[in-house]
Amino acid sequence: MILFLASRPVTSPTLGSARAGRPPSPVRPAPRRRARFRPLAPYRRIFALPGTRAFTAANLLARLPMGMLSVSAVLMIAGSRGSFALAGAVTATGLAATALVGPWTARLIDRHGQSRIAVPATALAALGSLSLLLCVHIGAPDWTLFASYAATATTPNTGGMSRARWAHLFRDDPAARHTANSFEQAADELCFMLGPVLATLLCTTLFPEAGTAVAAAMLLTGVLLFAAQRRTEPPVAAPSPDRAAAPSLLRLPGLPPLLLTFLATGAIFGSLEVVTLAYADDQGIRTAAGGLLALQAAGSCAAGLLYGLLRPAGRAGNRFVHCAGAMAALMLLPLLAASTGSPAVLAAALLAAGMATAPTMVTGMGLVQSRTPAHRLNEGMTLAVTALLGGIAAGSAAGGWAVDHLTGPGLAYTVPAGAAALALTVARSVRSAS
């Protein structure tokens, strides 16, 4: 067999052509396979880690009530007491109380862990929501509404806890953290898109207190399931002897103006919600109020998912200013659309206005993470959410006042437009500090 193979002439396309007097033909390389276009590859990559899908699903269930509670409270109180100003003031009080208590809750979570603190804190908040429901149902004095809603201040920052898990899992991968932050912002917007719709349906089709009751039950169930996912929970930082003397995060360079921008952005959300509810009530389309609010959140959700597919380029401070500028420009659209008196035009304007919200929040949250020590990350992100809640509280109160005192709810859209302009002004100082 070996002799047979050795006796055969060696043939090849190049050698055979040379012996025949023809020029040798070039050897063609093997064709390369075309790379598949996978637009969702960054998201598939972060969810490939074990346990990420489980804690994300539980956190979404816990986060959905965040888009339901305030809308349910406004519809429940305004329907029983006949005053949007009172409803806006009550929700503003609760959000302001959360802004004060939230950092303390986050500090306890950083010191003792998510599972040990989040569950009892959520149980106390659920009791506050049930107290508000009973006070409205039995016609208790107005001050009991403020006290009950203020008792919900112990609600933990569920979105912040989820972001803390992503930051721990991808602590050495900035690109993956950017994708995870974009997903979390889109998840926030998804909850604020579905939450108002669900709250409106429950309050208008069943009974006014149904939205608050369902939201409280979902919040407690979601946090219990989230806390059960222990393998993705960030480890508790070891106590240090100088922890008591640790400076406040508010003294960190560049963080205060960033928090002020979140405050102004929250005022956009709070005022936009109350004004839109009042506009729908004035137009006789109260059942469609949740859908109008959902469109603004839908635009922000879509923009957040698309933003997560992009690789961030340039300085983060410059990107933050550009996003805030786009948000300020687009927030003029609802004011112009409301003057037409057409709910369809307003719906399109709200959808477009939300397109710049998520990129602003994603970039801002990334700046907060980069300027906060790793062992106090949950506290830093909670401060950002606290500023956001404080702005929502101020915006709710300002929006309710504008609805009752200006000529028509349409003109009250000047409040979110003005808050967006203020956010852009403050964001410029963030760029100079970055």
pLDDT of residue 111: 81
pLDDT of residue 121: 92
Residue 409: inside a domain: yes
pLDDT of residue 217: 93
Residues of the chain under the 70 pLDDT cut: 1-39, 237-247, 287, 312-314, 374, 430-434
The greatest distance separating any two alpha carbons of the chain, rounded to the nearest whole angstrom, comes to: 109
Residue 39: inside a domain: no
- Structure token pair of residue 78: 């305004």
Residue 28: inside a domain: no
Q: How far from 366 is each of 259, 306, 421, CA to CA, in Å? A: 13, 16, 22
Q: In CATH, what number is assigned to the domain containing residue 103?
A: 1.20.1250.20
pLDDT of residue 218: 93
Q: How far from 156 is each of 105, 116, 230, 406, 415, CA to CA, in Å? A: 7, 12, 17, 36, 28
For the CA atoms of 361, 364, 369, 371, the dihedral, rounded to the nearest 10 degrees, stands at: -160
Q: What is the rounded distance in angstroms from the CA atom of residue 191 to the CA atom of residue 56?
A: 13
Residue 8: inside a domain: no
pLDDT of residue 160: 82
Range of the domain at 294: 52-235+254-433
pLDDT of residue 365: 82
pTM to 2 decimals? 0.69
pLDDT of residue 7: 42
Residue 47: inside a domain: no
* Chain segment 378-389, per-residue pLDDT in tens: 777 778 878 887
Residue 152: inside a domain: yes
Query: Dihedral sign, CA of 38, 42, 48, 51?
Result: negative
The answer to whether 338 touches 409, Cβ cutoff 8 Å, is yes
Residue 11: inside a domain: no
pLDDT of residue 124: 92
pLDDT of residue 18: 41
Residue 241: inside a domain: no
Q: Domains in the chain: how many in total?
A: 1
Phi, psi torsion values for 62, nearest 5 degrees: -75, -25
